[in-house]
Amino acid sequence: MFKNKKDIKLGFYGPPNAGKTSLANRICKDFTGEEIGSVSKIPHETRHVQFKEKVEIEYKGKKMTFKMIDTPGISTKIDYEDFLKYKVKKKEAKERAKEATQGVIESIKWLEDMDIVVVVLDATENPYNQVNITIIGNLVARKIPVLIVANKSDLKKSDIKRVESAFPEYDTLGLSAKYGDNLEEFYESIFKLSKKV
């Protein structure tokens, strides 16, 4: 009944390394001056759900307040040996794998709490895989409004169309979290989705 009076819970979900934290950081930095968490080229950098409350986003003279929720990357296979190639020591790699597995569980646990979810995908990778289909299917089943972001549009290998055609029934937006390309369109989509909450 009073749902509209509360801050909108905006979740960032997706596979590891897609740029969830980078995107959440850019938004938080723009409107609060602070970041939400650390970014790394090593997958599973985020291993706990992290928040930023009262992020007031202003777009075309309108203001909306969000609770931003950045989540650990979801994957079906977490192997400590994958971290060794990033020069992570064996003991640390094993710890990272253990925490990453817990992180996946945490992400899924928090799903039901979200008002809106941005699914962040790396547009240089084939979007049509089990993890992405499972995340999006789960959101749809819970009737949570979804925006699919095809991130890393600055990279030559990125293919926004491939993401659009993998999930034609959902809103898809290409952008670069790293360079801030297409952020205005992102805010427009988020404001539009917020009306469905």
Binding site for Mg ion (CB under 5 A): 20-21, 45-46
Residue 17 as a binder of ligand GTP (CB under 6 A): the answer is yes
**Stretch near ligand GTP under the rule CB under 6 A, chosen from 3-11, 58-66, 150-158, 161-169:** 150-158
Scanning the structure block, which residue is given the tokens 């950081």?
Answer: 25
By a kind-dependent CB cut-off of 5 to 8 A, residue 177 interacts, out of Mg ion, ligand GTP, none, with ligand GTP
Residue 185: how many CA atoms within 13 Å on its side-chain side?
A: 14
| Side chain identity, residue 54 | K
Q: Which is nearer to ligand GTP, 64 or 88 (CB)?
A: 88
Query: 183-194 vs 20-32: helix axis angle to the nearest 10?
Result: 90
> x/- binding map, residues 33-72, to ligand GTP, per CB under 6 A?
------xxx-xxxx-------------------------x
Residue partners of 63: CB distance under 8 A and separation at least 6: 56, 57
Would you say 20 and 13 are in contact if contact means Cβ atoms under 8 Å apart?
yes
Using CA atoms of 180, 187, 146, 148 in order, give the dihedral in degrees to the nearest 10: -30
Euclidean distance between CA atoms 131 and 173, whole angstroms: 19
Residue 182 as a binder of ligand GTP (CB under 6 A): the answer is no
Residue 10 as a binder of ligand GTP (CB under 6 A): the answer is no
Q: Which is nearer to ligand GTP, 8 or 104 (CB)?
A: 104
**Which residues 81-120 are close enough to bind ligand GTP by CB under 6 A?**
120
Site for ligand GTP, rule CB under 6 A:
14, 16-22, 39-41, 43-46, 72-73, 120, 151-152, 154-155, 176-178
